[in-house]
Structure 1
């Protein structure tokens, strides 16, 4: 009589029970494994989540259909949030699929901390201001990319970090790009326009991190201005109004 030869476990692994083998082969188990794998491969999240906005000049105010011409749109009506960015992959998807060189005259885009609207009267912006850089149109895309990287990489935020004993902590609110006749305006918004050292440090960080070919030719190519100094600024008179205030016109 032939002797029984036990089946060998070639890799010296413990044999799976029928229940375990069934679970591994099941579609639900496979889906769970795929989800876990994708989570491990996901790019690390950014320190802050960001909202990407578009202000399109030809976007008319919504209203009932009529034969009369559409009403002139306000800044708030034209402003639309396109996407939210929480990791590096989502940032590059946005950057590579939105061609800033094709933006028409007077259109703007904004990359802002989640929950902050790119309007002067937003509660996070109302006491702030921004650095504006006048950039030649042929350099605008590269300049914008560099400033975006400074923003999502937290270099700009580090510029306004402070140990000041104050209840009003400075913050980078966002960055913007606006198309004008002879140049492109790229702006860096901060929360506290009275934080003198922070305001100056923002400029230093931008200039120190730009490659030589993107450096402004002279100091007349950039300036800082408080939001409240703009003619179209509408100062909120109460906390409730501060939350709801919007700007109807922009430069």
Structure 2
């Protein structure tokens, strides 16, 4: 699937997300021409070779799950759900790379925006039935270089679609938050009662991504929701002239 196909996506209103550079040839997004002996005596053999090449190029490698990429464009005039844009779903390795190679990396999207990759049918929101009883492993990147954010995000995506975790059934998806101060990458899990699964996912992340202990922490969605409610109450009070010593933080990402 190529760039023009993405622009025709019904619910997608952010064409500026797309990367205008040529797709990478390393990941199978561009085919190399093959030479064929066209002498008359070899026509049957040539036909068989062409059929083999065609089958090889058409062959796709299925993933265990279908995944959906979302883009959140920060707009305070909209609800959180309305800010979420569903970009595309895919269920093969080749379609993943086709999508990945045609969108901007996280470091190039606007401050305050997010990418999310979730199993198809799960929305990147706490309120979704698959998420509300779970939590998330959070990787905090303090003023990290652009390349670090992009590389870690790609590694996380490959962990998800490659079913790297022993308890991959407990993984709902992942989010990257691009903010002024600290960028964050989080992996969302389904059930906080399954502590064994949550710990295994955290240990695997730390090993695969080579993270230090200080960079990775687990948060329950219900605790984060309480914090969000407190912040919303603070904002309500400040708008109604109630004294509040805390300044608004434009890096807030408490909804996800």
TM-score (norm 2): 0.63
Separation in 2 of the partners of 1:178 and 1:42? 35
- 8 A contact 2:206–2:216 mirrored in 1: no
Distance 2:95 2:111 in 1: 27
Residue equivalent to 2:215: 221
Are 1:85 and 2:90 counterparts?
A: yes
Q: Which residue of 2 is the match for residue 122 of structure 1?
A: 128
Q: Is the 8 A contact 1:49 1:113 kept in 2?
A: yes
Question: What is the distance in 1 between the residues matched to 2:55 and 2:72?
Answer: 34
- Whether the aligned pair in 1 keeps the contact of 2:61 and 2:94 (CA below 8 Å) is no
Alignment partner, residue 13 of structure 2? none
SS of residue paired to 2:101: helix
Deviation at 1:148, TM superposition (A): 0.6
Structure 2 vs 1, CA of residues 137 and 119 (structure 1 numbering), >3 Å: closer, same or farther? farther
Give the match for residue 142 of structure 1: 151
How many Å apart are 1:137 and its aligned residue? 4.2
CA distance in 1: counterparts of 2:178 and 2:153, whole angstroms: 12
Q: Aligned residue for 1:45?
A: 62
> Helix, strand or coil: the match of 1:118?
coil
Q: Which structure 2 segments of 5+ residues have no match?
A: 1-40, 45-49, 230-253
Of the two structures, which has the highest relative contact order with CA contacts closer than 8 Å and spacing of 6 or more?
1
1:172 matched residue in structure 2: 171
Counterpart in 1 of 2:10?
A: none
Q: Shift of residue 41 of structure 1?
A: 2.4
Q: For 2:101 and 2:182, how far apart are their aligned partners in 1?
A: 22
Alpha-carbon shift at residue 147 of structure 1 (Å): 0.7
**Alignment correspondent of 1:75:** 80
- Residue 219 of structure 1 and its aligned partner are, at CA, apart by 2.1
Alpha-carbon distance in structure 2 between the residues aligned to 1:86 and 1:94: 11
**By how many angstroms is 1:44 displaced?**
1.3
* Contact residue 174 and residue 188 of structure 2 kept, 8 A: yes
Q: 1:184 to 1:154 in 2, by over 3 A?
A: same
8 Å Cα contact 1:131/1:189 also seen in 2 = yes
Deviation at residue 102 of structure 1 after TM alignment: 1.0
Shift in Å, 1:250: 2.1
Say how many residue pairs are matched: 179
In structure 2, C-alpha distance between the alignment counterparts of 1:46 and 1:141, rounded to whole Å: 22
RMSD (CA atoms): 2.6
Runs of 4+ in 1 over 3 A off after TM superposition: 37-40
Aligned residues of 1:54 and 1:80 also touching (Cα < 8 A): yes
The alpha carbon displacement at 1:39 in A equals 8.8
C-alpha deviation, 1:114, in angstroms: 0.4
State how far apart, in whole Å, the 2-side matches of 1:171 and 1:183 are.
27
Q: TM-score, normalised by structure 1?
A: 0.65
SS at match of 1:112: strand
